[in-house]
Amino acid sequence: MESNNAKAIEGGHPQLSKNYPVFRFMGGNLISFFGDQIYLIAIPLIVLAITGSPLSMGIVAALERLPILLQPITGILSDRLDRKRLLLICDLGRCLIVGSMGAFFILNQLEMWHLYSGALLIGLLSQIYNTSQFASVPNMVRKNDLHAVNSINTGIFNTAVLVAPGLGALLISLYNPGYALLVNSLSFLIAFTAILSIDIKVAVPKKQEKRTFLEDIKEGFQFVIKTKPIFFTNLAMIASVFGTTLFLTMFIFYLKDTMELTTTQIGWLLSIGGIGAICGALFTNLLRKKFSYRRILFLASIAGGTSIILFSLTDSYILLIFFNAMGTVSVSMKSPCIVTIRQTLTPDHLLGRVQATSRFMTWILMPVAAFLAGLMANQIGTDTTIFIGGSITTIASFIYLHPSLKYRWVEV
């Protein structure tokens, strides 16, 4: 009976071009992503305005990433509870927190403890949201459409990267970063409304209801370790994420303080990088029909790590734009492949836990890397910190050459 119900859920979706609920879902993501890109510019500028310290930025980034340690629990929540309700709670919570920080800054009442606590709460809600979102998508589309949806979702994210930074920089230059956070708050509210209009169905085997939290966590880790394509992509991502976190934590500080770019120039640099990211997301959907995930992931990762190294070595604004775009292309090529591998090889009742376990494994060093980025930038400079991050990311690329990633598991 349960297998019949699962088949009914899987078979009850229309072809992708007529699957309007999933497009509303991705539309809400677009608005949310739009606000997030503005947030990424506003927060470092706010920290710079209050303290002028790279170390303070490292602490904020570390606190926002600290809830990664709770990933195994967020996976269980996603598999046991109503995923739609979790998504709604996370969007509403982030709307209120980010909006409050923006209002406090406009009123000159924002203090660093507000930023520290806000970053921690936003990080927690984002972890729950991302895990629940990942687990929801396979129940909204046909299996053969998974890679296409993941590519489109990545393209939507990069469309936000294209448009939002330029508009956010303009808003900040005309007013102040507090108004940018209010825009981010509004984006979460719009995403909340979009999800509210969607029916997200889930098929959960009854036997899972009697399991303990520890048994659920153990099952998720055992599946990831046993499933070699997931395990080795996670292994590569551990080092890669550490390196890119060193880079991203100091990214705005480097451009603003070291390279002395204006806020508008930073916005344009980020937006132009979004063009390459959109192309990368679309390009990977074509490449996966001819090449293995192993080849795509290896080449994209090598290109991404090299772009970070070259980014740290140039003082030309044009080359900064080019190398940033080169990096966003590589990231947008890797993301749909990794997500599709996890979703395709994981049974529905384990989707939340496998995603959460994978994120826990690959992101566990992010808080440490973010904090180290602040310490290293204080001692050896932001450019050297970014160079080291790029070197680590490049070396990690060779793990993607594991034989288990030669194959394709999704019908084309």
Could you report the per-residue pLDDT of 371-405, keeping only the tens digit for each? Answer: 898 889 888 988 999 999 999 999 999 999 888 77
Distance, in Å, from the CA atom of 12 to the CA atom of 7, rounded to the nearest integer, reads 8
Instruction: Enter the pTM of the model.
Output: 0.66
Could you list the pLDDT tens digit for every one of the 412 residues in the chain?
Answer: 444 444 444 456 667 667 777 777 777 777 777 777 778 778 888 888 888 777 887 788 788 878 877 777 777 777 777 888 888 999 899 999 999 999 999 898 988 899 899 989 998 998 888 788 777 777 777 777 766 777 666 666 656 555 555 566 666 666 778 888 888 899 889 889 888 888 776 554 445 456 676 777 788 888 988 988 899 999 999 999 899 889 988 888 888 878 888 878 887 887 777 676 667 766 776 777 778 888 889 999 999 999 999 999 998 999 999 998 888 888 878 888 888 888 788 887 777 778 778 878 887 888 888 889 888 988 898 899 999 999 999 999 999 988 877 765 444 3
Distance, in Å, from the CA atom of 248 to the CA atom of 393, rounded to the nearest integer, reads 12
What CATH number belongs to 13-406? 1.20.1250.20
Q: Which of 56, 148, 200 is closest to 340 using CA atoms?
A: 148
pLDDT of residue 342: 84
Q: How many residues does the chain have?
A: 412
- List helix spans (H) across 110-212: 112-136, 146-174, 177-196
Contacts of residue 235, defined as CB under 8 A and 6 or more positions apart, other chains included, come to 361, 399
Q: Both tokens of residue 337?
A: 């492949």
Distance, in Å, from the CA atom of 125 to the CA atom of 128, rounded to the nearest integer, reads 5
Distance, in Å, from the CA atom of 96 to the CA atom of 160, rounded to the nearest integer, reads 21
Distance, in Å, from the CA atom of 350 to the CA atom of 146, rounded to the nearest integer, reads 17
Alpha carbon 301 to its chain's center: 16
pLDDT of residue 52: 77
pLDDT of residue 313: 93
Contacts of residue 243, defined as CB under 8 A and 6 or more positions apart, other chains included, come to 305, 308, 369, 388, 389, 390, 391, 392, 393, 394, 396
Distance, in Å, from the CA atom of 40 to the CA atom of 269, rounded to the nearest integer, reads 13
Q: Both tokens of residue 237?
A: 């991502």
Distance, in Å, from the CA atom of 34 to the CA atom of 258, rounded to the nearest integer, reads 27
DSSP 38: H
Dihedral of alpha carbons 254, 281, 14, 10, sign? negative
CB 364 within 8 A of CB 263: no
Round to the nearest angstrom and report the end-to-end CA distance of the chain.
30
Q: Output the CA torsion 247→249→253→254 (10° steps).
A: -10
Q: Both tokens of residue 97?
A: 């927190």
Q: Is 202 helix (H, G, I), strand (E, B) or coil?
A: coil
Q: Both tokens of residue 360?
A: 């826990």
Q: DSSP assignment of 329-397, as one string?
A: HHHHHHHHHHHHHHHHHS-GGGHHHHHHHHHHHHHTTHHHHHHHHHHHHHHH-HHHHHHHHHHHHHHHG
Distance, in Å, from the CA atom of 166 to the CA atom of 138, rounded to the nearest integer, reads 33
Which position has the token pair 């600290």?
66
Alpha carbon 274 to its chain's center: 15
Distance, in Å, from the CA atom of 206 to the CA atom of 262, rounded to the nearest integer, reads 57
